[in-house]
Structure 1
């Protein structure tokens, strides 16, 4: 009897250029996912004076936005939406190095598109009502920084803050943890991707927010820094929010390569190669014949033997 729950041959294949999820599809998916993530995180930061959300608001918004983007397009591109996570995946051998610049470019385009939408929809004269010089000053509220630009400095009214080294350590460790989650989860199950990625980002954002405003993503930090246009202040600190996340993600990937299983875990596929396929669970992984065909063949053989007897 045929297996009623069997899927057609190739239905679970990982994205490849021959199955309709080629380089262009993956790049567009990364741009879209980054757009959703950055729009959510920056919106909650720029309008923080209205929602009084603080760390919890930033964490929940980022986590939900990340989870939604993962469910929508994570199965197409891998769902990195972050240059640091993309680097970790490349080090782990799960995306071609030649495609890393394309992923980064797509992420930047998606991030700046989100920033432009938010910037272009800010109400007129709002900055004057809030005692700001211009709309760019509103963006500074969502930018990442340390010292006088650390959220702790504002919350304590200048009584306490974090220095550059402390900010760098927190961003590095949090980014390493986020990249480790992405490496461990893979891309086979969208629900698991969304739950682990969203909850992971939310929890790490709560930890990092008082220190730096929770960067954890070079694109998110760059968009806020550029649109803040304060290069003598918070915008000039954006370099740390590239270095720390990239180093942290690289360390996480090296640990995964050194101490992880030699074979790719079930449910994790390599993007950007012609050999991208999911493990179908058969021994050796080379038999493309569905289990249902084998079962039907066995039943037919048994019937023929009975008739002969």
Structure 2
């Protein structure tokens, strides 16, 4: 019995809703999607002092940006935009392992392009008005962390916080859930991808935001950490936001492969195009049958004459 979460080798060369999507097309799609997602999430974080949006604002921005990117290019690359989800898809057999580094590089390039654009457009002297030493301090507001850098620490004015173990567990579980959603939805229906991915990311962000600022994506966390440029503080904690999401996504993928619904090889190979082929074959058979009947009738009439 074939596993329902695995697809045949090379299936990503021609996703169900498009054709001719080679490696370059998929890599560019991942870079674009990562750019849109990171730009949205970091913008709301860096300018949080203006919008006072909190967890709901970050969640809605991230969810909507993710959904929009999925609708735009999800059918080309699969719409991962996240190294952790890419790893889960590779474990599940949907992405060739040789392409995983290319996806990760593309996601990082798109994320850093978004971070650079945002950094380059920050208003002059804004950091002084907010009591920051430089523009890097503005990025620290959107970085992920624990301890003194946990949002709870700020919200409680130092009265309470989450430590490393708690932060790691929350990031691991939330990332596992996000990867599980991506594995379950698949890539055939862009509307379903956008709805499940967007709502899923938004809901998980609300849960994780008070703990760590809701990383859930190593690219988003890395870009914020680099531009925050505080390696003795919040930037130095970025390693956890790689380890926890990757481990969580891997666990989700292993569960999907081990306990997912099973189907026969014939069912696994089924494609919507088969229906079209069957319809064409039926039409051809009907035409042939009709032609043969007409010939027999003509021959009978001629004989009777």
Q: TM-score, normalised by structure 1?
A: 0.87
> Cα offset for 1:265?
11
Q: Determine the structure 1 residue equivalent to 2:302.
A: none
CA-CA distance at 1:42 after TM superposition: 0.1
Q: Which structure would you say has the larger Rg? A: 2
For 2:266 and 2:60, the matched residues in 1 are separated by 30
Match of 2:147 in 1: 147
Q: Which structure carries more helix by proportion?
A: 2
TM-aligned CA deviation for residue 153 of structure 1: 0.6
Per the alignment, residue 223 of structure 2 pairs with 223
Give the equivalent residue in structure 1 for 2:34: 34
Does residue 280 in structure 1 map to residue 272 in structure 2?
Answer: yes
Alignment of 1:1-309 (within 5 A): 14-15=14-15, 19-263=19-263, 279-280=271-272, 282=274, 290-307=277-294, 308-309=296-297
Count of matched residue pairs: 283
The list of structure 1 runs, each at least 4 consecutive aligned residues, that deviate by more than 6 angstroms after superposition, is 264-268
Q: TM-score, normalised by structure 2?
A: 0.88
Secondary structure in 2 matching 1:24: helix
SS, match of residue 141 in structure 2? helix
Cα deviation digits, residues 154-199 of structure 1 (max 9, x gap): 1111111101000000000000000000000000111000000000
- Partners of 1:113 and 1:35 in 2: CA distance: 7
Distance 2:265 2:127 in 1: 51
Structure 1's 138 and 23: CA in aligned 2 closer, same or farther, altered over 3 A?
Answer: same
Over 3 Å counting, the alpha-carbon distance change for 1:115 and 1:263 in structure 2 is farther
- Counterpart for residue 5 of structure 1: none
CA shift for structure 1 position 19:
4.1
- The RMSD of aligned alpha carbons is 2.3
